[in-house]
Structure formats: structure tokens, C-alpha cells
Structure 1
Amino acid sequence: MVRVIEDMFGIAVNPMTQKTDRVRRFTMTTERGLSVSVLTLGATIQSIKVPDSNGKIEDICMGYDDVAGYYCNQSLYIGATIGRVANRVSSGRFKLCGKDVSVSRNYKDRYHLNGGYIGFDSCIWDVVGIHKDGVTIQHISPDGHEGYPGELTTNINFSLNETGCFGMRIEARTKATTCVNITNHSYFNLAGHGAGKDALYQHMLMIKASQLVDTNLDQLPTGKLMRIRNTPYDFGSLSSLGKRLNQVTECPLSGFDNSYCVDVPPNRVQLVARAVHPCSGRFMEVHTNQPGLQFSTANLLADEDKGDVPNIGKGGAHYCRQGAFSLGTQKYPDAMNNESFPAIVLNPGQLYDHQVVYRFGACPKRV
């Protein structure tokens, strides 16, 4: 049986209304000790606690202890839901129904990033349902917000079950033709959220993909897909993440931040990735109906090896470069400017239906 407990995480100014509002936290817990906490601020996953093979529970998801932590580190999007359109939009422009659309260029006035200045991550979402296994929250994005046409209503149902499956079902409807590509930007380290780079290098990873989206130095798509078999980007079978990170040290990012084209049949939720931390036995699976998976190794966090001041997370943990990974389900970046990519256009009467299930557990300890 799953228990759902609500508490008040803090107060904040809602940028959509400029009024002070409560930030509510909902914690779902199973009888086996797995728990997930989500916030109404940014539809954020704040905590995921998972037992290891010996029953020891660790929080394996990066986050902050209070509202101030999230606001001070807003540009990192840690744990937040990203929208209307995640990732990059080149030059902040695209054509829709034959008309030119300009959206905010919030990254150095060069391109649109992760929904603009006030994206889904910045807003305080409304609670529309509390269930026996989770909660449903809603955000209404006005027509013209950040340049996007059409009023968009987005509902997210968070749920947890006793088999270790934590699900997000994201549904959206629009009143006018628009673009939608939503994701969640949680960072994980299966050894513990503050275990750092050495523990991340111990992980094993599998991603069911044979191609990724080719990008330029600004990480904007070139319109081509790159075959990755027998390259350091190939995680077709369970592979050492540390070994692969050492192989890409000469790349522009010196790490991974790539959109993988996962092998998912249309309208089916299927396994696309699996991460394992052998030392603790913890594993994580990603199941989705989305065609893209943005895999990142937190390359933009402070580099303690170079003397940078670390980002301080929950419980005083030091969050540092390549101390965690993210696996964000979505469609391909800048899809509205690349006709060959899976479309992200949503019309009135259509339902945007994004399903992702994270399954957590621990492998039995070998005798």
C-alpha cells in the first residue's frame, strides 16, 4: 500500500500572478521504503529514496532543502519539469501554419532554451487531485506566453506503486495550434545524491538507441542523425559509464549531453534505458513512449578538481561536475525547425500524451 503525505515546503511568489503562494510537497512511500517527493514549484522531483541490496536507504536524486535553494539555482533546472518546449529553439524562431513565430531568446539573446524566461520550471502548479497512489497537478500557460500561441493546459499525474515504478503521465491540450515538447530535468546518482564523480564513474548504463541527434558547437541540431555504433556514445549494451566518460574527454563538452533517438514503437511505453550501480546494487530503468532521450552527465556544475566552489544541495551535499546523470524523455530538440524530426505541433482537439515510468530497485546481493 502506498501512502501519500502532504506538507508545506515553503512560500514563493508565483511569477504568473505576482502573488505569494504556498509551495506544497507530496511524498509517496511504499511499504518497502521507496519514496518520492514532488513539489508544486516547477512540478519538481525533490527527492527519491531507494533501498540498496542490504536495505540501506539513500536519496538518489539531486535537489534542495528549501525554496531559496531552487530559486538561487534556477538556471540549473534541477528536478524541474521543462516546457512548453524543452531544449533549444534555434534563433528563437520557427514557422507554424505558414506564419513566423518568435519566442523569447533567453540564452544570451541567441536562442530559446527550456521554455524561456518563465518556463514551466518557474511556475507554482495547482493541485487538481490527490489519489491513493499519487497526485495530479496542473498549469495553464496563457496564449502568447514567451511567444507561444494558444492557451495550453498541462496536467501531470505523479504515481508510485509497490513494484518500484514511479510514473509521470503528462497530458496537454491547446486552444490554438502550438508546439509542445515537455521533459523532466532530474539528476540521479544511484550511490546517493551527493556521492559525486567517483561514484558516478562506477555506474553501468544501457540506452536502446543506434543514433543520436547531430549538433553544432551551440548544441543546436544540424538536421542530421549520427550513427553511434562502436563509438563512445554507443550504450546499446550495459557499459561502463566511467570508461565512456574517459573516452570523450576531448569532445567540446568533455562529457555527455546528447539527444538519443531511442527505439520506441509509436504509442507504446517501452524500456529505453537502464542504469546500475554495482557497489550498492541499485538500478533504475526508464520506460517511455517518447522518441528521444536527453542523456547528460551534469557537465555545467562546478568543477571541484579545478577549485570551483561547489553547488550546495540537500543536507549540505556538494554537487559537482559529472557527479550525476539525467535521462530526460522528450522529442528531438528544435523539432519545429527540422521537418524530418518527430513533430511537436499540437492542434486543438488533440491530446499531448507523454508517459514515462522510472523503475527503481536493487539487485540481490551475491553470496
Structure 2
Amino acid sequence: MAGNPSRLSVAAAVTVACLLAGAHAASAETARKPFGMLPDGGAVEAITLKNHKGVSATVITYGASLQALTTPDRKGKGADIALGYADLGHYLSQPQYFGATVGRFANRIARGQYSIDGAAFQAPVNNGVNSLHGGTKGFDKVNWSVVRVTDTSVELEYVSPDGDMGYPGQMTVDATYSLNENNELSIVYTAKTTKTTIVNITNHAYWNLAGEGSERPVYDQRLTLLADAYLPTDAGAIPTGEVRKVAGTVFDFRKPTPIGARVRDASDTQIVYGRGYDHNWVASRTRAPKPRLMAVVEDPVSGRKLELLSDQPGIQFYSGNFLDGTSSGKSGHIYREGDAFVLEPQIFPDTPNQPAFGSALLHPGETYSNTLIYRFSAK
């Protein structure tokens, strides 16, 4: 799927980003300040984008991560709904992918092994016997450079050297966060390479619409996934290759359904494997020409609503099954199982080893892109 991206698709992604960034630009605000110092002396910055509707987004350069997202409830009271840490030290000592940009290859590659044109490659194994989110030092664990800050956006860049984590080609990656007065936060990822390689980049934000410091888990928040199939996995979370219809299964979220309604249903082996949901839903078999609605989550108590749009064919839904009480967030709240959900638009996991899923290849002269749009409201 990621191979041979059309010039039109990339242009469409850039156009969307520009439109989002340009809407009501004069009324937006941006703040920029230090966030900490890395052991190697590198300075980490925090850039906060604000609009006049009570929405703000803070992005840190470490991992090109969404560190905070504040949005009002139905009474106009704001809360930070994105899990994360208050200081850099915890991002370094207790990495959890909170809000991080993940790549070069998001999700899992079986045994970390894949081939390109007959040549074998090995990515680090860091999730059982498999490679997860690019390996032991993926895009989430490096400090990105600030390219540009405007009234409505921040553009970050990272240059991944040839051979980084076992991936061929020098890859230049761009992440642009934009916030507009329609309460839409967009993230546009693009990448170029000097050698044929594989790529799958997405954002790993953890959400709780009640607030990241709330005592309420996400289980009563209602999820809709606009997908009629999902990818079953083996016990190691690698897709088996089957594309299974959701109808009649605990994976059917085509209508609004509480996240916790069936999250512990051990009658389905897939739930047992993931200790809940940690699977990829199939929105389409190929990349869409422009972002379309993929998921909706609503909190009946606060009234907050999150809509997620993307142009990717798949979306990983993770129900926070492995939050184990070892991490304390910005408000001092200990994060435990069910305290958040994750939605990651992407190509399908293990695509490099499963030709039926499409292609993850990126060739020199091509541009990879993934556009995500988070739309916030309350009712």
C-alpha cells in the first residue's frame, strides 16, 4: 500500500494540512519553551498551540510527541484528555509511547524479519519474538528538530540514517501538527528515502475523554469504528493473514458500543490473546485519496466527543490492556488497565511479510504520507 504513492495523494495531504493550519490563523496562539535536557546535551522543547475555543495541544520534540490536549466538556470546563508525563525524565525512564510518533514501522513485524528484492533485513526484536514500533530505538525515542513554528502549527523533522534499527536508506521524516478554530488537530507525516525501504508511521496518543487524571476508566465511553472486518492474530499479535468480518463477533463496533462491554469476553480467543482489544480493523484494502472518518468516541458523562479521520486502510484499536500501575501521569494519577484507549491509523501490521495486505515499500523519489485529523466537540 505504501509503495508508489501518487503525487496527487501527497498533494492532497499537504493541502489538507494547509487548510487546517490556515483556518482563522490570526486568532490562534503559540507558546514555545524548554522541556528538559537529554543525557547527550540535546535540548527538548515544548510547543503549545491554542485556539479561542478552549482547545490547546502541546507537542514535545522528544518523539515528536503529543504531550497534552485540553478540550472543554459540555459545560465548557477544560480537561487534558491525553495521557503523558509532566517532565522529560519520565519519558526517558518509563517509555510508554504516550502521544509518540512511532516508526519506521509502526506496529509489529514478525520476528523483526523481512526482505526487499531478495535481500534479508533484521529489525530489533523488542516485543516477545517480534519487532514493535521500529525496534528498541524507534522514532519515539529520538529528539526531532523544529523546522518551523507558526500561529497555528509546528513542523518537526528527523533524519534517520541508513541502517538505523536495521532499516535501509537514509529517511527524512516530517511531522506537522496544526490546530484550527474548528477544534481540529491535524498531524501530517511525510517521509522520503535514499534507498528502497519499508515505512509505516502513525501517532500513539492515549486518550481518556473524562480527563487523563480522572478516576473513571474509558470502559463506558462509546466507540464507533467504521470498518466491517478486522485482522485476527496469533498469540504474539501477528496477523494470521485472515480478514475476518466483525458481524456477530465482539469486534463489531459499527454502532456506538461501550469500550468495556465485551473487553473481557474470554469466549473469543482473540480477546484472550490481547488481554482485551489490540487489533487492526480494516477500513479499506488500499489507501484512501483523502482523509475520511474512521472512528468516533463519545463520553456520556462529560459529553466530549472525538472523531478521527485518516487516509490509511487500517486502524489499530488498543484498549489500554497493559497499563499496569507503574506509570504516574501529569496530574499524579496512576495509570492502570482501562484508563485509556489508543487509535492508530496505519497500514496493516506485518505487511512486509504478507503480500496479500499490499505493499509497505517506499522507493527513492517517492513520498510516503499519513494524514490524521482529530476533531473535538462536546454535546
TM-score surpassing 0.5? Answer: yes
Q: Deviations over 1:271-329 (max 9, x none)?
A: 00000001111000000001111100111111xxxxxx542111211210111100011
The answer for the alignment partner of 2:7 in structure 1 is none
Where does residue 8 of structure 1 map in the other structure?
34
Where 2:37 maps in the other structure, the secondary structure is: strand
Q: Which residue of 2 aligns with 1:306?
A: none
- Cα deviation per residue 1:184-206 (whole Å; 9 max; x = unaligned)? 1110000011224x441220110
- What's 2:107 paired with? 87
Write out per-residue CA displacement over residues 342-365 of structure 1, whole angstroms, 9 at most, x where no aligned residue: 3110000111011010001111xx
Of 257, 279, 291, 1:269 maps to 291
Tell me the residue number matched to 1:202.
220
3-state SS of 1:336 partner = helix
Matches of residues 182-331 of structure 1 in structure 2 within 5 Å?
A: 182-196=201-215, 198-247=216-265, 251-252=271-272, 253-263=274-284, 266-302=288-324, 309-331=325-347
Map of 2:141 onto structure 1: 122
Match of 1:334 in 2: 350
| Cross-structure match for 1:55 | 76
Check if 1:154 corresponds to 2:167: no
Normalising by structure 1, report the TM-score: 0.92
- Partner SS, residue 111 of structure 2: helix
**Residue 352, structure 1, aligned to residue 368, structure 2:** yes
* SS class of match (1:95): strand
Counterpart of 1:221 in 2: which secondary structure? Answer: coil
Question: How do 1:11-90 and structure 2 match up within 5 A?
Answer: 11-13=37-39, 19-74=40-95, 76-90=96-110
Which AA in structure 1 matches 2:135? G
The letter of the residue matching 2:179 is L
With normalisation by structure 2, the TM-score equals 0.89
- Paired residue type of 1:78: F
Q: Secondary structure at the match of 1:200?
A: coil
Q: How far apart, in 1, do the equivalents of 2:266 and 2:224 lie?
A: 17
- Per the TM alignment, residue 27 of structure 1 is displaced from its structure 2 partner at its CA by 0.4
Match of 1:16 in 2: none
How much has 1:78 moved relative to structure 2?
1.4
What SS does the corresponding residue of 1:68 show, helix, strand or coil? helix
Deviation at 1:248, TM superposition (A): 5.1
Instruction: Output the CA distance in 2 between the equivalents of 1:130 and 1:254.
Output: 41
1:228-262 deviations in whole A, cap 9, x for unaligned? Answer: 11211111111222213243586323311111111
Q: SS where residue 349 of structure 2 aligns?
A: coil
* Structure-1 residue corresponding to 2:10: none
Kept after mapping to 1: 8 A contact 2:231/2:243: yes
| AA aligned opposite 2:251 | Y
Counterpart code for 1:300 = F
Counterpart Cα distance in 2 of 1:317 and 1:228: 35
Task: Answer with 271-280 or 187-196: which moved more.
Answer: 187-196
Report if the CA contact (8 A) 1:150-1:178 is conserved: yes
d(CA) in 2 for partners of 1:272, 1:185: 16
| Paired AA for residue 183 in structure 2 | G
- The farther-off stretch of 261-270 and 339-348 is 261-270
Letter paired with 2:176: N
CA distance in 2 between counterparts of 1:164 and 1:244 reads 31
CA shift, 1:265, in A, is: 6.1
Q: How many residue pairs get matched?
A: 349
Q: Name stretches of at least 5 consecutive residues in structure 2 with no aligned partner.
A: 1-26
Higher relative contact order at CA 8 Å, sep ≥6: structure 1 or structure 2? Answer: 2
Structure 1 stretches of 5 or more lacking a match? 14-18, 303-308
Q: 1:189 to 1:299 in 2, by over 3 A?
A: same
Q: Partners in 2 of 1:88 and 1:245 — Cα distance?
A: 22
Distance in 2 between the 1:169 and 1:133 partners? 14
User: Does the 8 A contact of 1:69 with 1:313 survive in 2?
Assistant: no
**Counterpart residue identity of residue 307, structure 2:** E
Q: Work out whether residues 287 and 312 of structure 2, in 8 Å CA contact, stay in contact via their aligned partners in 1.
A: no
Amino acid at match of 1:212: Y
> Using the alignment, how far apart are the partners of 1:69 and 1:211 within structure 2?
37
